Amino acid sequence: MVEIPRDTAPTAGWMEGREHVLPVRIYYEDTDFTGVVYHGNYLRYFERGRSDFLRVTGVAHSALLDQSVAFTVVKINLEFRRPARIDDALLVRTTIDGVKGPRLNFSQKIFRGEELVCTAQVEAACIHMNGRPSKPPPSLIAALAPLIG
């Protein structure tokens, strides 16, 4: 059996210009008793979108952890526009708006076809494993620079 290094394992989604697109299917476990997506699950979809955005751009969380660096969400603003429902096929679209000091700002949207379901403005901070803020490593800045809008 060929062992695939964890940093090169398959990624989810693809890039369209400077935007990462992640498909998400809504399963029964994602919904409340009415078949509508539970509001807290949107945070999971957005988290997956940001994680795979970084992975597709060559930034692996495991490699950052090896450097004792991680991310924490400092602020998130969600706007629910339409309910997502069981069996929906959604697309999570993620862009990075800027990096300033330890902070990274992302814009995210979830679509069902052409219909906007939910938006998020996310401010994340790069931190050392001791919890203190840290400027992102130069390799992260270099990977993100061409994608910052």
- For residue 48, which phi and psi values (nearest 5 degrees)? -60, -40
3-state DSSP helix/strand/coil % of the chain, to nearest 5: 25, 40, 30
Q: Which of 7, 30, 32, 88 is catalytic?
A: 32
* All residues at 6 or more sequence positions from 143 whose CB lies less than 8 Å from its CB, including other chains: 57, 58, 59
Question: Could you tell me the two tokens for 44?
Answer: 């999971």
Q: Catalytic: 32? A: yes
Counts for the chain of helices (H) and strands (E), in that order: 3, 6
Question: Could you tell me the two tokens for 82?
Answer: 């339409």
Amino acid at 73: V
Residue (of 4, 22, 6, 3) closest to 14 by Cα position:
22
Bridge partners, 71 (sequence order): 126
Q: Which are the catalytic amino acids?
A: 32
